[in-house]
C-alpha cells in the first residue's frame, strides 16, 4: 500500500547541489506533504516595515526550499510524475519592491513591502480590490545533472524556479530525472501571481504542499511538461469582462514595460492608491501574454486585467 510522508522545512535549502543527501526517501506511488517556509526562509515577518525589509532581508537566503526527497529506483532517463494534490496557506503573504530588481526597476528605486491577509480563498487587503487566491509552488524541481552549487533563480530542464502559476492543485507535473533518486525539492509558494510576476514577487506565503509521486522508467523527457485540469483563471474572474492593454515593440521587454506602466496609471486613477501599490497589484494579478510573433521583428504583448477584482463578491 502507498504510504504518506511529511517533511518539515527545517533546514531549508537555498541552492541546487546534487551532492546533498536526501532528507527523505519514498517509494513510487507514495504521497508526501512538504512544509514550506515562504521564499525568504521566514526572514520576512508580518509586522515588518519597508525599512525592516531594506535592513534585515538577506537575498542570498532566497529561495527557501524543502527537501531533497529521493524516489526509490529513480535514475537518469526516467521521469517523475508529480500529481499536485493540494496546498494549505497559513493566512498571510507578502510582496516587495526591491531596488534594482523587477520589470520596472528604474521607475521604483525605493524598497516597498506589502502584507496580505489571506482569508480562505480570497484577500481584501488592498483598498478597493478583492483578489481570488490560486496557490501554487513557484519552484518544483529535481537536482541538476551538473556537479557544484547553483543559485535557485534560473529554471531549466530540471524544473526549478519556473513560476508557472497553473501548477495548482489538480495539475500533474512531469520532470526528467538527472541523478540517482531524483531528489525533489519544492518551495517559493505563492497565494496568487500574475503571469509575469513583474515586480519580482507574487504573494509570497508559507504553505504545505501535498504531492503524489509516481515513477516512469526509461521515458526520456527533454524538459518539464504538465497537464492542468483548469480552470486557467479563477471562475469569478472569467464571469466578468477583462481590460486589455496592448503594446508592440521590436524588444518584447520594452512592450511589457509600457503595458505595465499603463496598467499602473489606470489602477492609480481608478482606486486612488499609490503607484507602488498599483505595481504590487500588477505582480499578483496582471497576466502578460504574447499575442503575436509573426510580424518580424515586432512582438505584441497584451496585459489582461480582470474587472472582477474591483467587485466585492457576497460572502
Q: Per residue in 32-91, pLDDT tens?
A: 999 999 999 999 999 999 999 999 999 999 999 999 999 999 999 999 999 999 999 999
Identify whether residues 191 and 107 lie together within a single domain. Answer: yes
Give the CATH number of the domain where residue 257 resides. 3.10.28.20
pLDDT value of residue 1: 86
Identify whether residues 20 and 88 lie together within a single domain. Answer: yes
Q: What does the pLDDT look like over 251-305, one tens digit per residue?
A: 999 999 999 999 999 999 999 999 999 999 999 999 999 999 999 999 999 999 9
Any domain includes 130: yes
Identify whether residues 70 and 103 lie together within a single domain. Answer: yes
Give the CATH number of the domain where residue 58 resides. 2.60.120.580
- The DSSP-derived string for the chain is ---EEEE--SS-B-EE-TTSPPSEEE-TT-EEEEEE--TTSS-S-TT--HHHHHHH--GGGPPPEEEEEEETT--TT-EEEEEEEEEEE-SEEEEEE-TT-STTTTT--S-EEEEEE-BTTEE--STT--EE---EEEEEEE--SSSS-EESSS-BTTEEE---TT--TT-EEEEE--STT--EEEEEEES---TT-TTS-S-B--EEEEEEEEEETT---SS-EEE--S-SS-HHHHTS-EEEEEEEESSHHHHHHHHHHHHHHHHHHHH---HHHHHHHHHHHPEEEEEE--STT-EEEEEEEEGGGGS----
Q: What does the pLDDT look like over 133-181, one tens digit per residue?
A: 999 999 999 999 999 999 999 999 999 999 999 999 999 999 999 999 9
Any domain includes 315: no
Number of domains in the chain: 2
Banded pLDDT at 315 (limits 50, 70, 90): low
Q: What does the pLDDT look like over 231-252, one tens digit per residue?
A: 999 999 999 999 999 999 999 9
pLDDT value of residue 109: 97
Amino acid at each position: 500500500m502507498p504510504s504518506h510522508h511529511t517533511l518539515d522545512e527545517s533546514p531549508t535549502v537555498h541552492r541546487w547541489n546534487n551532492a546533498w543527501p536526501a532528507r527523505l526517501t519514498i517509494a513510487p506511488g507514495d504521497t508526501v506533504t512538504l512544509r514550506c517556509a515562504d521564499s525568504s526562509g521566514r526572514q520576512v515577518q508580518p509586522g515588518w516595515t519597508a525599512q525592516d525589509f531594506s535592513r534585515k532581508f538577506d537575498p542570498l537566503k532566497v529561495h527557501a526550499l524543502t527537501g531533497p526527497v529521493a524516489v526509490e529506483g529513480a535514475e537518469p532517463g526516467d521521469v517523475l510524475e508529480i500529481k499536485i494534490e493540494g496546498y494549505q496557506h497559513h493566512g498571510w503573504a507578502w510582496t516587495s519592491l526591491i531596488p534594482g530588481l523587477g520589470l520596472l526597476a528604474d521607475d521604483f528605486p525605493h524598497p516597498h513591502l506589502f502584507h496580505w491577509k489571506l482569508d480562505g480563498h480570497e484577500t481584501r487587503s488592498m483598498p478597493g480590490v478583492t483578489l481570488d487566491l490560486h496557490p501554487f509552488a513557484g519552484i518544483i524541481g529535481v537536482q541538476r545533472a551538473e556537479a557544484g552549487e547553483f543559485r535557485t533563480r534560473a529554471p531549466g530542464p530540471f524544473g526549478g524556479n519556473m513560476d508557472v502559476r497553473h501548477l495548482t492543485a489538480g495539475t500533474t507535473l512531469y520532470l526528467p530525472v538527472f541523478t540517482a533518486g531524483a531528489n525533489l525539492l519544492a518551495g517559493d509558494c505563492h497565494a496568487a501571481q500574475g503571469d509575469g510576476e513583474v515586480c519580482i514577487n507574487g504573494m509570497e506565503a508559507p504553505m504545505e504542499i501535498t504531492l503524489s509521486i509516481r515513477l516512469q522508467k526509461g521515458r526520456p523527457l527533454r524538459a518539464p511538461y504538465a497537464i492542468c485540469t483548469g480552470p486557467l483563471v479563477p471562475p469569478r474572474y472569467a464571469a466578468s469582462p477583462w481590460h486589455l492593454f496592448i503594446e508592440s515593440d521590436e524588444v518584447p521587454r520594452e512592450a511589457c514595460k509600457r503595458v505595465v506602466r499603463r496598467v499602473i496609471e489606470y489602477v492609480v486613477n481608478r482606486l486612488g492608491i499609490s503607484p507602488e501599490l498599483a505595481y504590487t497589484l500588477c505582480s499578483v494579478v496582471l497576466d502578460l501574454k504574447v499575442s503575436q510573433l509573426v510580424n518580424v521583428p515586432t512582438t505584441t504583448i497584451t496585459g489582461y486585467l480582470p474587472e472582477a477584482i474591483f467587485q466585492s463578491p457576497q460572502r
